Amino acid sequence: MNQKIEDDIQKADDHILVCLSAAPSNLKIVNTAAKMANTLQARFTALYVQTGTKAEARDKEKLEEHIRYAEKLGAEIVMTHGENVPVQIAEYARLSSVTIIVIGQSNARRNHFFSKSTLTEKLIEIVPDIDIHIVQDAVKNRTYSKWSFTGPAGKPSAKDYVLTAFIFAICTLIGLLFQKLNFTDTNIVTIYILGVLLTSIVTDGYFCSIAGSILSVFLFCFFLTEPRMSFQTYAVGYPVTFLIMLISSVLTGTLAAKLKTHAKLSAQLAFRTQVLFDTDRLLQREKGETEILEVTCTQLIRLLNCNITAYIVKNGTLSEGKLFSGEKENTEDFLTQEEQNAARWIYENSQRAGVTAHYFSQVKCLYLAIRSGNNVYGVIGIPMKKETLDSFEYSILLSVINECALAMENAQNAMEKEKNAVLAKNEQLRADLLRAISHDLRTPLCSISGNADMLLSNSDRLDKATRHQIYTDIYDDSEWLIGVVENLLSITRLNDGRLKFKFTDQLLDEVIAESLRHISRKHDDYKIMADCEELVLVRMDVRLIIQVLVNLIDNAIKYTLPGSVICIRGIKTEGKAQISVEDNGPGIPEEMKPHIFEMFYTGKTTVADSHRSLGLGLALCHSIIEAHNGTLILADHAPHGCNFIFTLPLSEVTLNE
């Protein structure tokens, strides 16, 4: 049992690295490594080391083919650069905890004793603690080129030739000046070496620096040695000087060109890494799918320096294409019907299509799906200016699109979570309503039913005072039920958007007086006062505002003892009408104040009568006042009690005296 667990842990820790190249046997090597990774259930990585030299077109095509094949087999593609390939492989293997390296044998073989060590031998020497599996190559003859002196920039331009000739002409003039000043030949040689360095910096590739090295020897020999204007020399040691000068110049120029090449590769890698970092940071800030797509396309324009077309999935269908322009060129061809058909095919089949692909190869763009798992959120189209994207560009492109897909998936999950939260809240409200109705309405209904039964059964035997009390109790309970039902209907219609408002201009004092006429008969036990400024004209739905005032006054009556003072005030303040309902009761505990406007919240406050509140009145008041563009707040009333204050907009009608 323990051995099985250890084996499983070992499998989980395995990491297989295969080295990519343009060699014909590389497909066999990649396939072998993939089988090993599948058998061991290990992480699988394919590494390609860029050396800064330019491969032939057919070798580049082969390399791209091998990279695609490794991707198809589940490999993670990694690219690095450096002059010493074994060291780069070993360094990546150490940093990435690689346990097995798979490599071919026939890339380099020793032909004689003095031959350099093979790549495999160097790897074994550098990383002796990592298993190296060598796959024998059946192809004996190499059909691909390894080195090219034109370098990554291709053949030198006419401008490079002119600059080279100009630099060495200047070096020769300086050399002549140094001779007149009686400087030694060593100083003049260093001037030409400096010219080689400058040439390698200002021109592309190795050719000009090597040509400049040879040219410097000829110029030194022709112009600066005796006899002048000839390639003969009287000095015995000058041929050796020329040879050393040539070797030094070639080595200096070559090293400078390599440093320049690797500096370009490093800058390119740093830029693309920064683009990925910025894309991740920007996508984390966006919440909507449209905004996420815009950020992604902007970053792709920055990365590839070309126009981008994008399609987003809305309601299960692919929307019309949108062009994000990065360059001033004819962009109408990127949104033709044929291009959009290719994008829709991508959405339906989740495969890449367009330029360089098997499907829709006649269109102008390469189309890739914004996909996470089996879900497709959109399609990205990249107009192609060249035959193919190099593997590094393509891997960065896929990384950006995968970041976009992940952000869209997160945004969709957040929306679903929000919808589920709303549904859960609605379900909770329904459950609370059923609980409130089943428990809190039972008391008044039982009271009405019991009193009615007593009247039916024993009406003749009850005296007049007892019958009057029973009638009063039935009336009070029915009035309370009517008020609850009115509040419930109003808040339901308001939340569903079915409550229609009828705004009119009303005098505030008249509205307050009308609301007092709707207060239950129990207000006789309380001292209710109204204090309102005259001619305060307010824009309101009078029926709903009366309901607000009735609820607030009933709430004050319910939670204060008989004999308490309740005051309704109406004033103008800061361009609005302010209405307050004050009482001098016990007040509301601090822990309850943040929840009093929540639906179905009743707290633990003891009410003055036997009826419990359903917790709808204050929630309804709050919603009605907000619909009037006003605010409803709770304040303390000195020395004790509550003060509910709400505001309403004043009418724009001007009253003429």
Domains in the chain, CATH or no CATH each: 2-135 (3.40.50.620), 158-264 (no CATH), 286-415 (3.30.450.40), 501-649 (3.30.565.10)
Residue 280, pLDDT > 90, answer no
Provide the token pair at 341: 């058909």
Average pLDDT over residues 140-166: 59
Of 153 and 73, more confident? 73
Place of tokens 């798979």: 102
Residue 483, pLDDT > 60, answer yes
Using alpha carbons, list the distances in angstroms from residue 518 to 488, 542, 543, 547, 628: 18, 13, 12, 9, 22
Asked if 505 contacts 538 with a C-beta cutoff of 8 angstroms, the reply is yes
Residue 152, pLDDT > 70, answer no
Going by C-beta distance under 8 Å and a sequence separation of 6 or more, which residues neighbour residue 493?
499
pLDDT at 570: 93
- Name the CA radius of gyration of the chain, rounded: 44
Band of residue 607 on the pLDDT scale cut at 50, 70, 90 = very low
pLDDT at 603: 61
Helices (H), 497-596: 508-516, 542-558
How far apart, in whole angstroms, are the C-alpha atoms of residue 602 and residue 348? 54
pLDDT at 217: 75
pLDDT at 606: 46
The SS3 of residue 16 is strand
Q: Comparing C-alpha atoms, which of 88, 37, 76 is closest to residue 402?
A: 76
Q: What is the mean pLDDT of the chain?
A: 76
Residue type, 602: T
Residue 647, pLDDT > 90, answer yes
pLDDT at 612: 45
Candidate from 265-279, 540-554, 621-635 with smallest mean pLDDT: 265-279
Candidate from 296-305, 558-567, 607-616, 620-629 with smallest mean pLDDT: 607-616
Residue 655, pLDDT > 50, answer no
Please write the tens of the pLDDT for every residue from 586-595. 888 888 888 7
Please write the tens of the pLDDT for every residue from 404-424. 888 888 888 888 888 888 888
Candidate from 90-94, 129-133, 270-274, 653-657 with smallest mean pLDDT: 653-657
Residue 298, pLDDT > 50, answer yes
- What are the phi and psi torsion angles at 589 (to 5°)? -60, 150
Of 500 and 108, more confident? 500
CA atoms within 13 A on the CB side of 66: 24
CA atoms within 13 A on the CB side of 80: 17
pLDDT at 567: 93
Please write the tens of the pLDDT for every residue from 540-585. 988 888 888 988 888 888 888 888 899 999 999 888 999 999 998 8
pLDDT at 231: 62
Residue 438, pLDDT > 90, answer no
pLDDT at 648: 93
Using alpha carbons, list the distances in angstroms from residue 17 to 25, 65, 586: 16, 18, 77
Average pLDDT over residues 519-528: 74
Provide the token pair at 281: 């940071």
Of 304 and 235, more confident? 304
Residue 532, pLDDT > 50, answer yes
pLDDT at 297: 85
Candidate from 314-318, 528-532, 627-631 with smallest mean pLDDT: 314-318
Instruction: Specify the pTM.
Output: 0.48
User: Which stretch, 30-34, 191-195, 230-234, 239-243, has highest mean pLDDT?
Assistant: 30-34
| Secondary structure letter of residue 11 according to DSSP | H
Residue 214 CB neighbours (<10 A): 12
Residue 5, pLDDT > 70, answer no
